[in-house]
Amino acid sequence: MRGLLAAGVVMIGVGAAASAWPSRPAPASVMQGVSGTAFGVAPGVLVTNAHVALRCQAQGRALHLMGHGGGWAVLLLDADADLALLRGPVTGEAVLPLSTAARLPRGAPVLAMGYPTEGVDSRAAGLLRSARGDVLRATLTVHDPEGGRAASFVMTDRQGREVEPGWEDGLRYFGADKAARLRWRVEIGAPAGGGSSGGPVLDAAGHVVGVVYAGGRGLTAAIPLEDLRGLLARAGIVPVLRAASLRLDPDWAGVEADAARALYRITC
């Protein structure tokens, strides 16, 4: 016999607070002031979350990159995967390489980066922040990018030990009607604040291994590379690929400094 424990996370592309699944969507007045994060994945192409772009579209507002001129528009958007590609002027901006790793092992050290809209660690709101943590688990999640909410669950055995769920477990828990929005996600033991949605999760060599999309209870929830690779392939975008890192003594300060050149704060 295996048990289920529900866990809610909040999508964090919007600076204002949102309710955890399955509460009602936040009122329109709370949705003002959309802010998120994006990173370069190819010349003139940025990655962010679909829920960031959708909120801007819902308000009829154009996407802007803080400190950068020129217009950026949605090139391709996948609401179910909660990913969006943005196309803009090619100005020689830096890009982040993607790891070739098939999946992230539990316990792997990673770095999540973004532009939280609230002040943390004595830093002012809107400044780039990184949070280091280990991969906790792979989880099955159903989320609602338009409403800014997500729900996942943890499975345990009779002794209360956590076990990884299978796809059928997810279907039984959420119901067959949610199958189209059921996705594998990665949970990391690192905090993430509102505005960090769309930021990269990096391995010890600075290679992208996921995309931040939600947070809650001291966790960061990330979209795995499989979804990002699929979206890039559909758009005809060929990213820079790098072999998975085997470093035992990573220079996290160097990883953060190098990645910062390819990160942007999005507002609308």
Q: Is the pLDDT at 22 greater than 80, yes or no?
A: no
Here the tokens at position 5 are 């424990």
- Looking at domain 3-15+34-267, which CATH architecture does it have? Beta Barrel (2.40)
Q: Is the pLDDT at 259 greater than 80, yes or no?
A: yes
Q: Is the pLDDT at 159 greater than 90, yes or no?
A: no
**Cα maximum dimension of the chain:** 57
Please name the residues in contact with 103: beta carbons below 8 A apart, sequence gap of 6 or more.
138, 224
Identify any residues that bridge with 250 across adjacent strands, giving them in sequence order.
none
User: CA 201 to CA 56: how far, in whole Å?
Assistant: 23
Q: Is the pLDDT at 48 greater than 60, yes or no?
A: yes
182-188 vs 200-202, strand pairing mode: unpaired
Please name the residues in contact with 222: beta carbons below 8 A apart, sequence gap of 6 or more.
112, 185, 186, 187, 188, 201, 210, 211, 212, 213
Q: Is the pLDDT at 29 greater than 70, yes or no?
A: no
Is-cis flag, bond preceding 191, omega within 30? no
Contact 199, 39 (CB under 8 A): yes
Average pLDDT, the chain: 82
pLDDT grade, residue 114 (50/70/90)?
very high
- Predicted pLDDT of residue 4: 52
Q: Is the pLDDT at 32 greater than 60, yes or no?
A: no
- Predicted pLDDT of residue 204: 93
H runs (alpha helix) in 47-203? 50-58, 167-174
**Residue (of 146, 95, 119, 134) closest to 262 by Cα position:** 95
**Taking residues 5-33, what's their average pLDDT?**
38
- Predicted pLDDT of residue 252: 94
Contact 209, 6 (CB under 8 A): no
- Predicted pLDDT of residue 28: 25
Identify any residues that bridge with 73 across adjacent strands, giving them in sequence order.
87
Task: Give the number of other Cβ atoms within 10 Å of residue 118's Cβ.
Answer: 13
What does pTM read for this prediction? 0.85
